Structure 1
Amino acid sequence: MVYQIPVLSSSGTRELSAELPAEINPHLLWEVVRWQLASRRRGTASTKTRGEVAYSSRKIYPQKHTGRARHGDIGAPIFVGGGTVFGPKPRDYSYTLPKKVRKAGLAMAVADRAREGKLLLVEDFAGVNGRTKEFLAWAKGAGLNGEETVLLVAQDERVRRAARNLPWVVTLAPEGLNVYDILRTERLVMDLAAWQAFQARLGGEA
């Protein structure tokens, strides 16, 4: 489907035609987000088994004639402070996802923002040279007032630096554009360099 996407520049606003998916598959987006979050998990959680807790292994009381149940060492899982049964151990949570699925998910996420009128392309961030107040002045002129969360994808590091301290803005370099961050913010703002990088990813490898 062809979308008409607004392009903002210091000389005014124009529109750019872009071919993006017409249908959005929520389950496919869920698959990509699940894959992303699994890849980010550190997997460092670790509990001690009964063989690793620092207790004596002596028998805590005689086997018979106490009127109580039979027990061995105090590090058994049944006791408070004892070892853990089937607890977490360090592991890798990441798994592979087909490149076609990853590319389709990214295209659908961007298409969803374009369909909602929440995608804005920027030709130049006039007057933004690394300071937050400069970005706030530009954002006000672009109709971004902080009422919606914004994902800002910009090639210029000065633009990202100017916006990164704002609580309603998430900043990314073009190569970092991903489905999870698109879906967790309400508006998507990209410069033309980021847009071209996005188009190249769709045409090449994810």
Structure 2
Amino acid sequence: MKVAVVDIKGKETGREANLSDSVFAIEPNDHAIYLDVKQHLANKRQGTHKSKERAEIAGSTRKIKKQKGTGTARAGSIKSGVFKGGGRMFGPRPRNYSFKLNKGLKRLARRSALTLKANDKAITVVEDFNFETPKTKNFVDVVTALGLDNKKSLFVLGASNNNVYLSSRNLKTSEVITSSELSTYKIMNANNVVFLEGSLEEIEQTLSK
């Protein structure tokens, strides 16, 4: 698959980037995408939720009424969950939500997500660029020139570039990452994925394994 390479002003450079069919043109596996996104969201959960159970509630341990003859259910403690102010029954406890996925499945998920974006023509290839100093206006000009105003955009760099990253940090709809940070969640969460030329080779080498 060939995609025209544009500059930061959105104009074609006359060159084309060849996107590998093994990464950008496979049969998408929706279930692999689902599992990888599910793992990403699960790993972000702190799992620190906790409610007090009856053993942790402060209160009297006196038997609140006699066992028989009242016509109602037995009750041995005011801290029972059936009473107001009692402990919560089967409440949340601290836990770890993370789970394991095989590397091969995660690579399949990323290839599937990239294929879906390619099918939707939501992939743009831009020649490598840099800013002399971090400046949000410079990055906004790039986003506008590429026609990505008011769209969630994901910029993928070949290597870390502090000036470009800092220039994008104040924008809620744009995110800048390196190729090693590319994940299925980030791909699916963006309306358009913008690859800098220098990132394509590493991505294809990593995901073609």
TM-score (structure 2 length as normaliser): 0.85
Higher relative contact order (CA 8 A, sep 6+): 2
Which stretch shows the higher mean deviation, 6-15 or 159-168?
Answer: 6-15
The equivalences for 1:134-153 within 5 A come to 134-144=138-148, 146-153=149-156
Unaligned runs of at least 5 residues, structure 2: none
Is contact 2:109-2:184 (8 Å) kept? yes
Match of 1:24 among 15, 28, 35: 28
Deviations 1:73-107 (A, max 9, x none): 11101112211222221111111111111001101
Secondary structure, aligned partner of 2:56: coil
Aligned equivalents of 1:101 and 1:25: distance in 2? 10
Q: Give SS of 1:51's match.
A: helix
Could you tell me whether the CA contact under 8 Å between 1:4 and 1:17 is conserved in 2? Answer: yes
1:7 partnered with 2:12: no
Contact 2:26 2:111 in 1 (8 A): no
Structure 2 residue identity aligned to 1:6: A
Computed over aligned residues only, the root mean square deviation of the Cα atoms, in angstroms, reads: 2.2
Show CA shifts across 1:27-71 (max 9, x none).
Answer: 221121112222222111112221111222122233345554331
Identify the match of residue 87 of structure 1 among 88, 91, 96.
91
Q: Percent identity?
A: 31
Report the TM-score, using the length of structure 1 for normalisation. 0.86
Q: What aligned pairs does 1:168-183 form with structure 2 within 5 A after superposition?
A: 168-183=173-188
In structure 2, what is the Cα distance between the partners aligned to 1:5 and 1:74?
Answer: 71
SS at match of 2:3: strand
Amino acid in the other structure paired with 1:150? S
1:48 to 43, 52, 58: 52
State yes or no: 1:100 paired with 2:98. no
Distance 1:128 1:75, change over 3 A: farther
Could you say what secondary structure the match of 2:167 adopts? helix
The corresponding residue for 1:38 is 42
Residues 126, 91 of structure 1: CA spacing in aligned structure 2 closer, same or farther, 3 A cutoff?
closer
Residue 82 of structure 2 corresponds to 78
